Amino acid sequence: GGRSETFFKELEGMVGSGGGETTDEQPPPTKTETKAKGQQEKIVLKGESRPPVDLFKSIFEDGEDESSSSGSEDDEPEKGPQPGGPPSADTDADNAPSRPPKIAFNPSSKRAASAAIDSKAADSSGSDSDDSSSKQKKEKKKAKKAKKGKKPAKVVEPEEDEEEEQEREPEFFDNFVLKSDEEVAAMPEAERNAYIEEHDNRFFPLQQEEIDRLGDETFALYEKVVTEVNVRRAIKARIMVTAKEKADSQPVDKDGNTCVEITLIPGDTVTGYVEGLRESLLSVMEDESQKRRVKNDLLCEERKEDLTEELEERLRLHWPRKGRTEVKYRQPREGELVAHRQKSARFLRQFYKRLDDQNQNYQELSDEVTAHADEFVSNVNALKETLKDQGSLAALQGVEMKSKKLLAMFKPECEDYHEMLNMLVTAEPQKLANSITELLRLTKTFPNGGDYDIKEVNDLKELLVEPQVKLDAVVEDRREKIMALQDYEIEAMRVTRGFKTEYEKCLQELSLREGLGKKYGAPRRNAQERLRTEVTRDEYSANRLDEMLDKLEKLCEAAKKGKAVRFDGEEDEEAALPLAVRIKHTTMSVRTGVRRRVEYLEFLKEGAEVGADDEIPVDMEEEGCGAVHQEEDAMVVGTFSQAIKTLQQQCKEETYELYSAEGKTDLLGDSGVPESLAKWLFSNNIKVLGPEEGEILNEATVVTPDGPHTYTVKYTSGIEEKKVPAVLIKPFGAAPVRAPEPPTFREGERVDVHFQCHREKSRRRLRSQVSRLERIIAKTPVPPNPGWLGAPSAAVTDSVRRAALKSDSTREAASAGFAKLLDAWEAARKRHVSQLRPQLGSPDAAGELKNLVEREEKRGREVQAAVAKFKEKLLAIEADTAKEAVKRLTSVMKGWAAMLDKMVLTEDLQALPGDELIIPKRKSLKRLRKASRSSSAGAGGEGDGEGDDAEAETATAPSVGRSWPRRTWSVLDLSLLKKVMEASLPPPPVLTDEELAEKEKEKEAAAKAKKKAAGKKGAPPPEEEEEDLGDLNEAEVWEKKASEEATFSSYVTTAHRCLVATCSSRLEAFSKRFEEAGAAIRAKYEGVQEREEKWRGKWGGLVVDLKGEFEK
């Protein structure tokens, strides 16, 4: 049942009181002991007998300590046992939140506590326990009666079934399904309480003979259930006893004196209460008596009428036939005829009344329609009078909008009125017409089961002709009036024509005066549209440049990780290109986009020559995949300032042509346009191009910093602007101060903010994009960021990686093909071994043995020759792959060096407002010494590579321009590749003294012929001949030529240094890889040759042994 806090507190008190008593009770008896003892110990359960069980077995778990007596009353109350057995440790662990804390109990005192509980429960059984037991018995009796009332059909079963029924174990639950401990623990609290209550109610005890028939498992289950039920009932009995004791006990103080005084009620008060009770009782009885009297009178009258009617009917049966006919037929028929006439008259009255109501509603509605139209006319005329007083286009359009709103509201309102009027022409009259039709339909003659005669029906039809005619006439009259009302409304709406005429007249006067309106404001609108288009084109171009920079960053990250990447909207052909090509093409697109935007915004320094339009040479990576860089369509053409001036000039020309056509040139100002249009053009010129001289400062308040050296400010007009550079903010009323870092401001500080036009904002954004490009190509920071792989380095990395992969795939493919040949030779060897039988040692089989030996020797020679040839071929393939990789690396390196030289960088851009406030950082003594050494060593246009200092200096002073030194780079170290290649070359031939002397003579003769040809007059200049490479081997010749081809000249910046360093490191890694591959090839195939040579000796020994064994 319900497990309340009081219940469990009473349980703790009960256990505590019983813990002090100790008895020598034994554990619960087993099934055998129960059968032996019989009825010695019995626990009361619903008044029947059952075997004794341990009362507290299922609720107290910590009972091993015999010295413990009881739980504390301050502990959390413990819930009762759940059906299905005592809670285990697993159940406690799984349902820790829902289980109460354990109660310590002494096992030796369990019987004593049980006896105490039973004794106290027996004392109170006359009050609480008997009541609950009697209620349960009554409920069982009702259930049994309900079952008996069903009277189920009797089924005659064989005697064998009766014997099986006797052998079947008895059941101790009434149609109840037991659940496991886990299922009960998983139930919600309310559902678990309901399950336990039903569990106890459904249980019924067994007799001793039934218990003896239980099996071991069933007996254990029965014992467990008895324990649980007895524990819960004992707890309930204890709670009832305790509650009764508390209710019956009288509180006393510490001395034993009664704490509650005896309350005495005065006799007068009691007398008053009794008199009031008497009066109330008599009043209620009198009311009830009166109600019964009225009810009886009504019942008497009702029965009197019924009995009188019954008596009259019986008396009529005694009348003669004539009187019976008079009463039974004539009088009822006369009543029917009278009722028919009354019904017709009533219908006509109602018909004409409804018709009159409709006429009245129609008249009121038509008057309302007329008043509505008159009100509309008066409102439009009032608006018309105010047109001439409006001094601006907005005010004039506002009056026009009011007129349109009036007309827009008037039309649907008229439609609503027409709908209501049409209801009085169609729906409402139709209802009256339908009532006539319905009356005739319900008027049924005698043959059709009605009470009308044919003549009556015809008379009724003639009677209804007049109402139908009147109804038709009224409907027709209403239709004519509705048409007249529609004409009246149309006439009322025509007043808007006069309003429109007056509006156009006022609009023309205002438009001519101010240059506004649809016609006279067309030049301004066209200029506004062109301005918006130009600004949108500029913003789109900037956004497109950001997208390309994002793409370039992702490509560099992909190259660093060695993973493929694909972008949304990218075509399959472009996505399939190598990363090196995609990075180069994207960088070229960025280079072109920056160059176009610099020219469009006129942001390039005067006299700066960048060469951003020069073509970049195509490298071998592009040639290998057939990729051709396609320039994107130019979003910006010309310059931004020229586009603004052009649209302003077009606006002036269109305005002059328009006013000339109207003959109103006298309204044009000195600038050739109306004064308002001239002000608009000037203000827009300031907004997009800025003032021609000086600067505009706006007073504002600093709201909060929103980034590094940027702030959110709020102008005096209430407008907020975010991300304003700190260099454009100046203290209010004070001159700006130059400093190495941008100034800082506190929140709420009053400042002056430099006004940025659109072109200046675009230039500032372009400079940030160029700075981002410099970070991507690793030009900045100085020193470079070790965690970032610049675009040139990324392209080089991808190129070398793919060259290595190509080398591996080529080597693996060739090795796989040759491995098949080795397998075939190995199979032939095994076949020869299997054919080497002892019989071949006989002289008779000498020919066969000789043939087998020759075939094996031939196979061995073929293997040795093929392995040696394939090894040399594979090494040659590796060498060719390495040469091609170096050639590709050289072409990629030169292409990127040229691109870095011919790219617009921050040093090529003009200064922006606020740059003059930043003082360039001074170089340290160490940097000055390095710069001095660099300038002295770089005389003649070549530097020693100390370009970082010059770059760092120009980065802080963009007005200086490009001041980087130039250098001739020769950075590819091919010595390791040459060494590996020389290892696979044949040794050079040894020349004799005569051959050496002959070679020297040939050199001298060639030198004389060259000198003689140069001395002749008019002879063409001799072509430069290649250096004599006769003394060098093939690897040395390749190294010399490849090193010369890899030499290039460029600026010295951090980006160039990163490119060169990456090329050197990737070439070194590739060289080591090439060396390891060559060593692996030699080791693998020389091992094959060595194994084959060992097998050759072993084979000869086998043959010799075979012959010797046979000779023995």
**Beta strands 750-754 and 720-725, pairing class:** unpaired
Tokens of 284: 């209620």
**Per-residue pLDDT tens for 977-1026?**
888 888 776 555 555 666 667 767 776 777 777 666 655 545 555 444 44
Determine the 3-state secondary structure of 123 from DSSP.
helix
d(CA 168, CA 171): 9
Please give the pLDDT value at position 991. 54
Answer whether residue 147 shows pLDDT above 60: no
Omega of the bond prior to 783 within 30 degrees of 0, cis? yes
Answer whether residue 939 shows pLDDT above 50: no
Per-residue DSSP letter, 713: E
Average pLDDT over residues 495-524: 80
Please give the pLDDT value at position 1010. 64
Give φ, ψ of 754 to 5 degrees: -65, 130
Average pLDDT over residues 318-343: 77
Average pLDDT over residues 451-460: 89
Average pLDDT over residues 421-440: 89
d(CA 417, CA 490): 14
Please give the pLDDT value at position 990. 53
> Between the CA of residue 209 and those of 39, 172, 556, what are the distances in Å?
11, 13, 91
**Which residues on adjacent β-strands are paired with residue 699?**
752
Residue of 785, 768, 633 lying closest to 708 (CA atoms): 768
Position with higher pLDDT, 1103 vs 20: 1103
Of the ranges 551-565, 649-663, 990-1004, the best mean pLDDT one: 551-565
Answer whether residue 21 shows pLDDT above 50: no
Q: Residue type for 464, please?
A: L
**Per-residue pLDDT tens for 114-123?**
343 344 433 4
Least confident piece of the model among 157-161, 784-788, 961-965, 1068-1072:
157-161
d(CA 430, CA 436): 10
d(CA 381, CA 287): 77
Please give the pLDDT value at position 700. 94
Answer whether residue 827 shows pLDDT above 70: yes
Please give the pLDDT value at position 1013. 62
d(CA 631, CA 595): 13
Tokens of 1017: 């007059």
- CA distance from start to end of the chain: 107
Q: 465-493 vs 427-442: helix axis angle to the nearest 10?
A: 170
Average pLDDT over residues 494-512: 82
d(CA 44, CA 50): 8
Please give the pLDDT value at position 1072. 92
Please give the pLDDT value at position 903. 92
Answer whether residue 336 shows pLDDT above 60: yes
d(CA 637, CA 599): 9
Please give the pLDDT value at position 1021. 52
Q: Per-residue confidence at 81, pLDDT binned at 50, 70, 90?
A: very low
Q: CB 863: neighbour CB atoms within 10 A?
A: 23
Average pLDDT over residues 197-203: 84
**Per-residue pLDDT tens for 234-254?**
888 888 888 777 766 666 777
**Per-residue pLDDT tens for 86-112?**
333 333 333 333 333 333 333 333 333
Q: What percent of the chain has pLDDT over 70?
A: 75
Answer whether residue 113 shows pLDDT above 50: no
Answer whether residue 932 shows pLDDT above 60: yes
Least confident piece of the model among 57-71, 692-706, 803-817:
57-71
> Between the CA of residue 903 and those of 544, 588, 612, what are the distances in Å?
18, 9, 5
Average pLDDT over residues 766-772: 95
Position with higher pLDDT, 152 vs 633: 633
Please give the pLDDT value at position 937. 54
Please give the pLDDT value at position 1003. 67
Average pLDDT over residues 806-820: 91
Please give the pLDDT value at position 327. 67
Residue of 246, 229, 177, 226 lying closest to 1 (CA atoms): 229
Residue of 909, 911, 914 lying closest to 742 (CA atoms): 914
Contact between 379 and 494 (Cβ < 8 Å): no
Position with higher pLDDT, 244 vs 147: 244
Q: Per-residue confidence at 124, pLDDT binned at 50, 70, 90?
A: very low
Helices (H), 158-203: 159-167, 181-186, 189-202
Average pLDDT over residues 951-969: 61
Answer whether residue 836 shows pLDDT above 90: no
Determine the 3-state secondary structure of 705 from DSSP.
strand
Contact between 535 and 635 (Cβ < 8 Å): no
**Per-residue pLDDT tens for 359-415?**
999 999 999 999 999 999 999 888 888 888 887 778 888 888 988 898 889 888 888
Cα 536 to its chain centre, rounded Å, is 32
Position with higher pLDDT, 570 vs 73: 570
Average pLDDT over residues 1059-1075: 93
**Which residues on adjacent β-strands are paired with residue 712?**
704
Answer whether residue 868 shows pLDDT above 50: yes
Least confident piece of the model among 444-453, 807-816, 943-952, 1093-1102:
943-952
Answer whether residue 265 shows pLDDT above 60: yes
d(CA 575, CA 570): 7
Mean pLDDT for the chain overall? 78
Please give the pLDDT value at position 177. 80
Average pLDDT over residues 153-171: 48
Contact between 583 and 555 (Cβ < 8 Å): yes
Contact between 1012 and 1062 (Cβ < 8 Å): no
Please give the pLDDT value at position 797. 94
Tokens of 236: 């309930």
**Beta strands 966-969 and 697-707, pairing class:** unpaired
Answer whether residue 683 shows pLDDT above 50: yes
Q: What Rg, from alpha-carbon coordinates, does the chain have?
A: 59
Least confident piece of the model among 320-334, 928-942, 1046-1060:
928-942
Q: Per-residue confidence at 749, pLDDT binned at 50, 70, 90?
A: very high
Please give the pLDDT value at position 895. 93
Q: Contacts from 413-422 at CB under 8 Å and sequence distance 24+?
A: 413/372, 414/369, 414/372, 414/373, 414/489, 417/365, 417/368, 417/369, 417/372, 418/482, 418/486, 420/365, 421/362, 421/365, 421/366, 421/369, 421/478, 421/482, 421/485, 422/482
Average pLDDT over residues 765-770: 95
Position with higher pLDDT, 702 vs 1032: 702
Q: 393-423 vs 465-493: helix axis angle to the nearest 10?
A: 170
**Per-residue pLDDT tens for 578-620?**
999 999 999 999 999 999 999 999 999 987 878 877 888 899 9
Per-residue DSSP letter, 730: E
Tokens of 718: 């209430």
Please give the pLDDT value at position 1030. 54
Residue of 961, 960, 948, 958 lying closest to 918 (CA atoms): 958
Q: What is the DSSP string of 1061-1108?
A: HHHHHHHHHHHHHHHHHHHHHHHHHHHHHHHHHHHHHHHHHHHHHHHH
Average pLDDT over residues 816-841: 89
What is the model's pTM? 0.56
Greatest CA separation found in the chain? 181
